[in-house]
Structure 1
Amino acid sequence: MFSKPFMRPLAAILLVAGFGLSQPAHGQTIETAAKQAIIIDYASGAVMMEKNADELMVPSSMSKLMTVYMVFDKLKTGAWKMSDRLPVSETVWKKHVKSGGSLMFLPVNSTASVEDLLKGVVIQSGNDACSVLAEAYSGSEEAFAEEETRRSRQLGLTRSTFKNASGWPEPGHMMTARDLSILSRHLIMDFPEYYPLFSQMEFVFNGIKQGNRNPLLYNTPGADGLKTGHTEAAGYGLAASIKRGNRRIVMVLNGMSSMKERAEEAQRIAEWAFREWESYALFKAGEVVVEDAEVWLGEVQTVRLAAKGNVEVTLPRRARAEMKVTTVHNGPIPAPIIAGTELGKIVVTAPGMAPLEMPLVAVDNVNRLGFTGRVSAALGRILWGSKK
């Protein structure tokens, strides 16, 4: 094996482009009053802080994000249009009129556009709007909840189970903070054309004006989503996203004691994440990392190796100088070589942190030498250590 160091030392958390979350560097933490919490870098997926992130919890209205995802997907595929009007059934109206939960105040036997219903869910947190969307989508809210659970597994939400479309308290309706962070990241990444809806400050429907309940929209620069939640069983929660410059963070907090504590904790932890952590782009997909990996019995003596995917790192600023980045590959690499074949890896190591790896792939095709050339190269290596 050849281990070849490159670049200057870095302290980093590395992620190949995708939705897997990497582990936080040890010792980088902040206390929080939240019972469950996670904060991640949007681009890299790096976890900057977590607390009971895989503990099942009552998500309250934060679970409405899954309903929004389902509707956004309908719109993106063209199955629904924003202007489509959906009926408000007597079943929906009776279910919510005396519930005491948050409402859009949809009149019975009326209709509302998909656009208005989405605003009712995102801005007003309307339970009735969720039920109307669910009935139109699946025929009943129960069937819709089952479909939400199936779809959530496809998105990587491994522990979430939905029993309704709104997050109204119901046995078995559970999520984790990590699942909510993954869902939030999907909403931003998969639907950039619809995501700005989350930053709308207020909405008027049926003569009733209601403001967005996300406290960060009012006092935190760069905040542009996503959803609050509150029930007696769960306490106060928030799934939020903040973008400053080229950097975005996603945060989920739950189990706080009041609206005031929720607002203060969310702002404090967000500022900590931007202050103490930084993100860096190391390589773009296809960027050459190794110029001259040795080839055995090939028509050329070396082959270039490149990063298979985009490589971003998110790291505590004070730890950056402690990281080492190396390349590792089996060598010499026998020909023939097909471009795109994985031939090695980038390895990132640092004290107190598990090694992180990313594939290296061949940039070029390399043909094998003919019989005479192979014999000559083999003899040359035996006699003189030739690289041919």
Structure 2
Amino acid sequence: MIRASLLAAVSVSLLAGSAPAKAPPFDTPAKVAYLIDLSSGAVLLSKNADVRMPPASMAKMMTTNVAFELIRKGDLKADKMCTVRPETWQKWHGPQAGSTMFLSPGEQVSVDELLKGIITLSGNDASVVLAECIAGTEDAFTNVMNENAKRLGLTNSHFGTANGWPDEGRTYVTARDLATLARAEIENYPDLYKKYYSLVSYTHGKTLGSGADITQANRNPLLGRVPGADGLKTGHTDEAGYGFTGSAVQNGRRLIMVVAGLDSYNGRIEESVRMMQWGFNAWQAQPLFKKDTVLGTAKVQMAGSGEVDLVAPRDLAITIPAGVLSKVQGMKVRYNGPVKAPIAKGQHIADLVVMTSDSGEQVMPLVAANDVGEAGFFARIWIGLKQLFGMA
């Protein structure tokens, strides 16, 4: 439970001289739209967020997610060389292959280059070459993609290709799942995210005839238009229309947006910029708790200590409409317990759930205040006996 004194102090601060605020309106022609503030967990906009749709090239975020996870574990090196199979090149070159990195048959290309080709150039060829390099075949790689999707909690998505090419509906996602995937890219692999996702352009391949270098610009509509923009991925097919999953950070607030089903390239630019600007300008952060504030305790199973304090890992704030004070309707600590030892200091083991009058439920992480070691052999026996006889 949250300590009553803290809850009372926050309630007084947020209620003083204010009426319940209304969420600022935002209308978009996009068939699907979703906007979340990661700093508070507040969903600022949701339009058909759980409707299945084809992702087009936004599926490539899962391809990079697989690679990033392997790199982090040390199972894949960025300088590993991959071979462009002639069969793969034959399928994924020319106008009929959509966006490409302009790879050549038999070419040796590094994982690092392929990641830049996938993220910056949206290379369909690069995606399949990387998939084959990692898993042997694209089919085997999509099995890994779907395993990762389950691990990340993408409950309404399935991947049948490494590049999002239309496949008669086998590949589908939702906007909410795409935002969850984007969050995983940003939070789980911050160094790799920073290295690859905000490149303005990339040069690879040669033109026919003159042999000049081919430089292509990043299609991200936010780069250079919205301060703090640093990712993620566009997508377009005739089936899916124009879509985009993007992110930007300003003044400590990171937003993730998803739009889909737009009917033009320029329309995607306009709506992406407009939505992100609205997210930053029409909403603001209202301070809640300082870093390291103790907000409750969690019971710990099979440990030398029976509970651990839960603290804020950073300064916590709720997201509210700009220019007003918002009403907190309730707070609670939520976790699946009891938590099993051992626990490391700073480990995310619970969430602070805050209900507001204008943006619904906002969820922020709480972490362990200290290490909790596993109980010794005899202590575990004693704990087990107490649980058996209802003494614990």
Give the shorter-chain TM-score range: 0.7 to 0.9
Is residue 198 of structure 1 aligned with residue 197 of structure 2?
Answer: yes
Moved more, 319-328 or 244-253: 319-328
Whichever residue aligns with residue 177 of structure 1, its letter is A
Whichever residue aligns with residue 313 of structure 1, its letter is I
SS in 1 for 2:9: coil
Whichever residue aligns with residue 193 of structure 1, its letter is D
Is residue 225 of structure 1 aligned with residue 231 of structure 2?
Answer: yes
Asked if the contact 2:242–2:263 (Cα under 8 Å) also holds between the matched residues in 1, the reply is yes
Q: Deviations over 1:276-327 (max 9, x none)?
A: 112345235752358xxxxxxxxxxxxxx96455444222235534225678
Q: Deviations over 1:138-187 (max 9, x none)?
A: 11101111210111111011111001100111121101111110111110
Asked if the contact 2:56–2:235 (Cα under 8 Å) also holds between the matched residues in 1, the reply is yes
Match of 1:214 among 220, 223, 228: 220
What's 1:183 paired with?
181
Moved more, 65-74 or 355-364: 355-364
Percent identity (aligned): 39
- Cα RMSD after superposing both structures: 3.3
Asked if the contact 1:221–1:244 (Cα under 8 Å) also holds between the matched residues in 2, the reply is yes
Moved more, 278-287 or 91-100: 278-287
What's 1:323 paired with?
328
Change (3 A) 1:165 1:317: same
Moved more, 351-360 or 35-44: 351-360
Whichever residue aligns with residue 133 of structure 1, its letter is L
Whichever residue aligns with residue 44 of structure 1, its letter is S
Asked if the contact 1:29–1:48 (Cα under 8 Å) also holds between the matched residues in 2, the reply is no
Aligned residues: 326
Match of 2:264 among 215, 239, 258: 258
What's 2:319 paired with?
314
What's 2:8 paired with?
6
Q: Mind listing any 5+ residue stretches in structure 2 that lack a counterpart?
A: 16-20, 206-212, 297-307, 334-344, 346-350, 371-392
**What is the CA distance between 1:216 and its match in structure 2?**
1.2
Q: Deviations over 1:243-285 (max 9, x none)?
A: 1122211111111010111111111111111111123452357
* Distance in 2 (alpha carbons) for counterparts of 1:362 and 1:192: 22
Q: Mind listing any 5+ residue stretches in structure 1 that lack a counterpart?
A: 13-24, 291-304, 329-339, 365-388
SS in 2 for 1:7: helix
Return the TM-score normalized by structure 1.
0.75
Match of 2:119 among 110, 118, 122: 122
SS in 1 for 2:167: coil
SS in 2 for 1:219: coil
**What is the CA distance between 1:43 and its match in structure 2?**
2.4
Change (3 A) 1:167 1:350: closer
